[in-house]
Chains A and B, each alone.
Chain A
Amino acid sequence: MDTQLLTSAIVAGNRKDAKALTEQALAEGLPPQEVLDSLIAGMDEIGGKFQRNEAFVPEMLIAARAMKEAMAVLEPVLLAAGIKPEFTAVIGTVQGDLHDIGKNLVAMMWRGANFSVVDLGTNVPPEKFVEAAREHQADLVGLSALLTTTMPSMKATIEALRSAELPKAKVMIGGAPITPEFAKEIGADGFAADAASAVTVARELVAG
């Protein structure tokens, strides 16, 4: 089968087609890595459209949902073939903040980009980020905050991560009040203004 169909199903957010085509591709003996790459290409395409204002949050959401359904079919096959996501990310909303919409969207996009994502939820204290980053040998730690009042928690979390000596773990931050200047000021490795650019920045950071 033409793997472009898989990519197109993800871009269109057509979950039924994404699932059925994944099943068909595997049944026809396509290598699972090739199937995965085609699905990821779809998420990349929708992410690019988002950044060019050609697609918006609703289109991103249905694409991510189609990806999730396709991955439910593909993941056991990948595992059986010994193929694991190359990178692991830990994500959470920092201590003092219960807001989760942005964080959930970024987690969804990272999963779509084939990161293994450990979502710590909201109101996450610095030590919990450190513990999870160590336990999962995270390549990336994502910190989210909605409120100006919880921005200092980001700084505290980055300080805790640096003190814990986890050289592999790059830290990126995001959220409504966050600016690139603030990210630089508190020593974050990266900043993303939206869920689509969170994928681009994450890939750049883990690539070193």
Chain B
Amino acid sequence: MAHRYNLMTGQERVKRMFARQEQDSLPRMESFWEDTLTRFKDEGLWGDPNDLLGSDFRGLCWSSPFPYPGQNITIAEDEETITTRDEWGQVNRSWKHRTGTPEHLRFPCMEKEDWENEVKPRLLANGPSVNLQDAKRSLAIGRRRGQWCHLTGLETFEITRHLLGDELTMIAMLEDPEYLVDVSRTVTDLVLRDFDYLWENCGPADGVWIYGDMAFRSGVICGPPLYRELIWPDHKRMADWAHDHGIPFIFHTDGDVNSVIEDYIKAGFDCLQPLEAKAGMDVRHLCPTYGKDLSFFGNCDVMIYATGDRERIEEEIRSKCEVGKATLGYVYHSDHSIPPSVSLETFEFIVDCVDRYGNYN
């Protein structure tokens, strides 16, 4: 069994990673599907698998401005599925007894008038979408554990897709960009309002981590020119908010975003996560190319993890950790979330590999 060098707290380690200063070992964190957690529990893991890994990160909140906070109305159900209207106002069909992406049946803004007359006024009238007491509690735990504590929230494109649905969002980008921009500016204001509220009432955080999927496996969802015109200004506002508060900005997106990395750097993004390997993202290319301007977080291929092939898993982790360490700007994480096809025994081996190859000499 390998052992991680533990001479620093997670907070110190991550701060030094962003400053490109020497660390004892790579900062680390992992994500899991719900079914994976169930499997690990069935296989004997008590508690959080991130404790097994030794996560350096801790989220304080989840800023997600819902038009209908607390709403969860059951519309229909059968033995396997349940159809509900949720806090977004979406009608979704989901599994009753397992996790998975739901089927979206209806979105709250099917017409522009729905946004103008119903959803926007509701959003503006609602209070903060974050829970102050939970954030305070999480910050206290994070500080006690020495973790890097971050404000977390959704980014504008993701929220817009929740409100309009994919199809109408993308059609609006081309046919009614003013509408799209109105939604984008409004929801970005609300996320930043949440962060202001927590900063004032909970205390300073160490960073901002924003989630939004901008791409799929073959490339970005909307072309770079459209992204620059419509979405990028709000991404920059979010990154500016973090920098105005003296903290770095992490951006999560799945998919192949190679074509917009320069735009992300110009917007002031400090770190990109989780770098989906099957979409062609590869830190062995990204770190040497952009490592001075951007930190990278993730990229270890869950499809390789799912094979259970120890030789391949070890090589995947070794090769990516080694190239990441060379820039001092890398954080270990998989390229998505650990799927339930990975056993607890395999995950323990993954932790062992991260211990072995994550230490700086």
Contact = CB atoms under 8 A, between A and B. Distances in A.
Contacts of B170: 57-58, 61
A119 interface: no
Given A176-B217, A193-B218, A62 B171 contact: yes
| Interface range on chain A (Cβ under 8 Å from partner) | 20 to 34
Interface in A101-153: 101, 122-123, 146-150
A99 B216 contact: no
B103 A100 contact: yes
A14 B33 CA distance: 42
B278 A179 contact: yes
Interface string A71-108: 00000000000000000000000001111110000000
Contacts of B171: 58, 61-62, 65
| Interface range on chain B (Cβ under 8 Å from partner) | 35 or more
A80 B303 CA distance: 51
A56 B216 CA distance: 11
Interface string B273-287: 000001000000000
Contacts of B103: 98-100, 122-123
Contacts of B94: 98
Nearest to B104: A100
Interface in B71-117: 80-81, 93-95, 100-104
Nearest to B276: A176
B173 interface: yes
Interface in B265-308: 278, 302-303, 306
Contacts of A45: none
B303 A177 contact: yes
Nearest 9 interchain pairs by C-beta: A58-B170, A98-B103, A56-B223, A194-B218, A99-B101, A148-B339, A58-B173, A122-B103, A58-B174
Given A56-B226, A58-B173, A179-B278, 14 more contacts: A53-B223, A56-B219, A58-B170, A59-B174, A98-B100, A98-B103, A122-B103, A123-B81, A149-B33, A149-B100, A150-B100, A177-B303, A179-B303, A194-B217
